[in-house]
Amino acid sequence: MIRKKHAIIWAAIITLTCCLITFLLTSFGIRAMRNAEGEIYISNEQYNMLSRYLELNEIEKLVGELFYRDMDPADLLTGAKRGLLYSLGDPYSAFFTKEELASLYDKLDGVFTGIGIIISPDKDSDAITIIKVYPNSPAEEAGIKEGDIIAGVEGESVVGLDIETVAGKIRGPEGTIAIVTILRNNELMTKEIKRRTVEVDRAAYQMLDDQIGYINIFEFTGNSVDIFKQAMESIQKEGAQALIIDVRGNPGGRLEDVRAIADLLLPEGIIYYTVNRNGEKTVKQSSAQFWDIPLVVLVNGQSASASEILAGAIQDFDRGTIVGEKTFGKAVVQEIISIPKTGEGLKITTAVYYTPNGRMINGIGIEPDVIVTQAGSGIEDDLQLLEAIKILKELLQS
């Protein structure tokens, strides 16, 4: 016998089904006829389209009848939306609830409530790896380190989940506790980390010895362009004669940000171009004005997306030397689309991008001009950085 709670779920299912049919009829412009008995007649083509969506309703009925505990129909619907994007087999496409979408926009603007980390899927194992821990963040204070693998959140495994779902579980209201289980050196450890609002600069800079400027871009989001321009102005005033740009561990960001930064470094020409499913090509170009000094770009296996756009353009223009390890290999473009009716949204892959010379690096990555496979934690033992300094010193002395 169906209990009272199950009856409530059944009522919700019927309501959802009616709403779904009404939505589909309205949204897809389906013209239907109703007879005197109230029966609705539609074409075979229209019926087949509706049937595809009503198949989901059959599964929802079985859940309502058989699942061992009661479920909120709204949660089931959200899960179905997530599943639709997940079924694309694309790790970069995802569904966002209203709250998750607002949090995503805040993060892109450089302000978010969380623990202060950047995460990325490992290209070999797909494990969600911490590739950046921001200074003075809750994560740093809790002892989280770059290279830690996130194994669970709130006591539940996150193995196999997409990166946006994992990030959404870690974020939360200020003052609440995130329980994060990490894997480090084959040892599991659980950290209780108090969330707070984190405002971070997405780039940092300094002058090194021998008149070499150094700019580290953490992500191409937030204030990355403004900080990069400040960095260029500052190190120019300090007499920089060569420049190192560090995008190691940079997972990417906004295309408009990397285009603006690349425009300051490249002569006139194509920075990158994209091609969508219809074969339509969109070209982004640089102007003729740029800072023409010796340049090295540092990359590693976690340099992805916008970082690879910058490194690929520098390489194709023969504008500088790429040093480090082969990059991640993400050459696809996402758009964030909001759904006004619900406040929800999608991040969906809409195009692939190519380097100026037409290289398609998705799943391949960019091979550095000089391969250095070991990097330490400080300037004195960071072999990749030391190699970059060596290259620039030789260029300045020649």
22 part of a folded domain: yes
Active-site residue identified among 148, 316, 326, 382: 316
90 part of a folded domain: no
Tell whether 224 and 302 lie within a shared domain. yes
pLDDT in tens, the chain (398 residues): 444 444 444 444 444 455 555 555 554 444 556 666 667 777 888 788 777 778 888 888 898 889 999 888 888 888 889 889 989 999 899 999 998 898 888 878 877 788 999 898 877 777 899 988 988 899 999 999 988 999 999 999 998 888 878 888 898 889 999 999 999 999 999 999 999 988 778 899 999 999 999 999 999 998 999 999 999 999 999 999 999 999 999 999 999 999 999 999 999 999 999 999 999 999 999 998 999 999 999 999 999 999 999 999 999 999 999 999 999 999 999 999 999 999 999 999 999 999 999 999 999 999 999 999 875 555 567 899 999 999 999 999 98
* Residues 375/384, Cβ–Cβ less than 8 Å: yes
Alpha helices (H) along the chain: 4-27, 44-66, 73-86, 98-108, 138-141, 163-170, 224-237, 255-263, 306-316, 383-397
How is residue 352 written in tokens? 């692939």
* Residues 338/84, Cβ–Cβ less than 8 Å: no
> What CATH number is given to the structural domain containing 323?
3.90.226.10
93 part of a folded domain: no
Tell whether 292 and 266 lie within a shared domain. yes
> CA angle 348-362-134, nearest 5°?
70
53 part of a folded domain: yes
The predicted pLDDT at position 9 comes to: 43
Active-site residue identified among 305, 307, 326, 382: 305
* CA dihedral sign of residues 138, 122, 170, 106: positive
Catalytic status, residue 305: yes
One-letter amino acid for residue 398 of the chain: S
How is residue 269 written in tokens? 């020409």
The predicted pLDDT at position 112 comes to: 74
The predicted pLDDT at position 8 comes to: 43
Catalytic status, residue 157: no
Tell whether 47 and 149 lie within a shared domain. no
Q: How far apart are CA 257 and CA 238, in angstroms?
A: 25
- What region does 112 belong to: left with phi over 0, alpha with psi -120 to 50, or beta? beta
The predicted pLDDT at position 12 comes to: 43
Tell whether 60 and 122 lie within a shared domain. no
Burial class (CB in 10 A: 0-12, 13-18, 19+), 15: exposed
102 part of a folded domain: no
386 part of a folded domain: yes
Q: How far apart are CA 154 and CA 83, in angstroms?
A: 21
Q: Domain ends where: 139, 173, 199? A: 199
Q: Domain ends where: 46, 71, 96? A: 71
Tell whether 251 and 349 lie within a shared domain. yes
Tell whether 333 and 228 lie within a shared domain. yes
Tell whether 295 and 328 lie within a shared domain. yes
Tell whether 260 and 295 lie within a shared domain. yes
Q: How many domains does the chain have?
A: 3
Tell whether 21 and 50 lie within a shared domain. yes
Q: List the domain range (segments joined by +) for residue 24.
A: 4-71
The predicted pLDDT at position 96 comes to: 92
Cα→Cα distances 281→17, 51, 254, 353, 356, Å:
41, 36, 18, 9, 13
Q: State the residue for tokens 């190699």.
A: 387
168 part of a folded domain: yes
Active-site residue identified among 169, 326, 330, 347: 330
326 part of a folded domain: yes
Tell whether 146 and 122 lie within a shared domain. yes
Catalytic status, residue 286: no
Q: Domain ends where: 166, 199, 232? A: 199
Tell whether 177 and 291 lie within a shared domain. no
The predicted pLDDT at position 11 comes to: 43
Tell whether 53 and 123 lie within a shared domain. no
Q: Which of 17, 74, 11, 75 is nearest to 3 (CA)?
A: 11
Encode 177-198: b = buried (16+ Cβ within 10 Å), e = exposed.
ebebbbeeeeeeeebebebeeb
